[in-house]
Amino acid sequence: MVKVYLPELGENITKATVSYWYAEEGATVVEGSDLVELATDKAAFNVPAPCSGTLVEILAHEGESIEVGAVLGLIEEDTVSPEAEDEKEEV
Amino acid sequence: MIFRRSVYPVNRTLLTVDRFTMYTDCAFRVMNLGIIDYVEALGLQKSIVADIAAGRTPHTVITCQHLPVITLPPRAKNENILVSREELKRLGIRVFPTDRGGEVTYHGPGQLLFYSLFDLRQDEKDLHLYLRKLEQVAISALRDNFGLNAYRKEDLTGVWIGPYKVASIGIRVKNWVAYHGFSLNVEVEKKYFSTIRPCGMDIPMASINDFFSDAVSLETVRDMLISSFADVFQMRPKLTEHSERKFFIGRFDP
């Protein structure tokens, strides 16, 4: 299981608020795509999916204030890459 | 409220286009777009942000004005729009969702939008420091060129003169490339300020021309801001070939 962390956002920033998730629990996510949107002060920012797979659990829900370094959600990583899946389908 | 009094020393040194051409190394490009629809500008920003993220284009500053529009970021409260849909229609104000941080904001004629499309991976990856730097761009421009006592308030992002807020800031950062920026009221009709609760609070808004007996032009303010941006971020500007659409100031008849 891959943990999605709230990254360091700069000096003196300890928290951010979850604005919304781009995916629901159980949805397939692709590495690098927008996963969750957060905000601190007047800055909105995205956290991309760290890997491709299934978003198994959302731990930080919309409107919640989260500490930097906290786990936002869990992704069950694909054991087969999307590229390999494509190749398989073509065969 | 003290308006139309020359109580502030004014030094309106105009930064001319010629000065830009003196720069040979382009660290950030400047696109002065005049009047552009909010949605069109947002699309343009996103397109440039993708290019910046891919390393295809440098930091970019876009300056423009919008026709009257109220923008609502995610989780903004509708109750911070203080007038009815009918009244908004009568005033010619449209409402759009947006992706920047902050609360409900008004944009319209007489207000200079200063969009900073900036790769934070090449600076410090610090969202609040970047916000403070954007504030400083406006503060330095207003203090150094116009003698206005502009300042920031702790925990209230924006730029203030006395009790009045003159610039609002809101950004979005996608994969550490920032866009949006700040809007500076140069000469905005006051009736538009009363349509919202800016930042969700009862904040008195003003335009910088409220503090002068002779109006400063939007182009002058724009050029001061670009110069100030160059100083704050230690970079050099270069105008692009798409620049210099016509600006106008204040007085919009819907």
B238 falls in which pLDDT band (50, 70, 90)? confident
B129–A39 C-beta distance less than 8 A: no
Say what the pLDDT of residue B11 is: 34
Q: Which helix (H) or strand (E) holds B44?
A: helix B38-53
B125–A8 C-beta distance less than 8 A: yes
Question: Phi, psi at residue B158, to the nearest 5°?
Answer: 145, -175
Name the residue of chain A whose CA is nearest to B176's CA: A45
Work out the minimum CA distance from A73 to partner chain B, whole angstroms.
18
Q: Which of A70-84, B26-40, B89-103 shows the lowest per-residue confidence on average (mean pLDDT)?
A: A70-84
Q: Is B94:A38 a contact under the CB 8 Å cutoff?
A: no
Residue B93 vs residues B75, B109, B192: alpha-carbon distances, Å: 21, 11, 9
Q: Which of B58-72, B88-102, B207-221, B228-242 shows the lowest per-residue confidence on average (mean pLDDT)?
A: B228-242
Nearest residue, CB atoms, A45 vs list B157, B170, B172 = B172
Residue in A30, A40, A26, A36 with CA at minimum distance from that of residue A4:
A36
Contacts of B126 in chain A (CB under 8 A): 9-11, 13
Q: What is the DSSP letter of A61?
A: -
Strand ranges (DSSP E) for B177-235?
A: 177-185
Residue pairs between chains A and B whose CB atoms are closer than 8 Å = 77
Tell me if chain B has a CB within 8 Å of the CB of A84: no
Work out the minimum CA distance from A41 to partner chain B, whole angstroms.
7
Residues of B tagged active-site: 199
CB neighbour class for B158 (10 Å; exposed up to 12, middle 13-18, buried from 19): buried
Residue B121 vs residues A75, B54, B125, B232: alpha-carbon distances, Å: 26, 12, 6, 17
Percent of chain A with pLDDT over 90: 81
Q: Which helix (H) or strand (E) holds A47?
A: strand A43-48
Q: Is B204 helix (H, G, I), strand (E, B) or coil?
A: coil
Q: Is B254:B92 a contact under the CB 8 Å cutoff?
A: yes
Work out the minimum CA distance from B21 to partner chain A, whole angstroms.
33
User: Which strands make up the sheet holding B94-97, listed edge to edge?
Assistant: B94-97, B69-72, B105-107
Question: How confident is the model over B137-167, as pLDDT tens digits?
Answer: 999 999 999 999 999 998 899 999 999 999 9
A10–B124 C-beta distance less than 8 A: yes
Say what the pLDDT of residue B76 is: 85
Mean pLDDT, chain B, rounded, equals 84
B244 falls in which pLDDT band (50, 70, 90)? low
Nearest residue, CB atoms, B171 vs list A10, A37, A42 = A42
Give Dmax (Cα) for chain A.
53
Does the pTM of the predicted model rise above 0.90?
no
Rg of chain B (C-alpha set): 17
How many Å apart are CA B81 and CA B209, to the nearest integer?
Answer: 25
Q: Is B238:B217 a contact under the CB 8 Å cutoff?
A: no
Residue B208, sorted as left (phi over 0), alpha (psi -120 to 50) or beta, turns out to be alpha
Mean of the pLDDT values across residues A74-80?
Answer: 89
B101–A9 C-beta distance less than 8 A: no
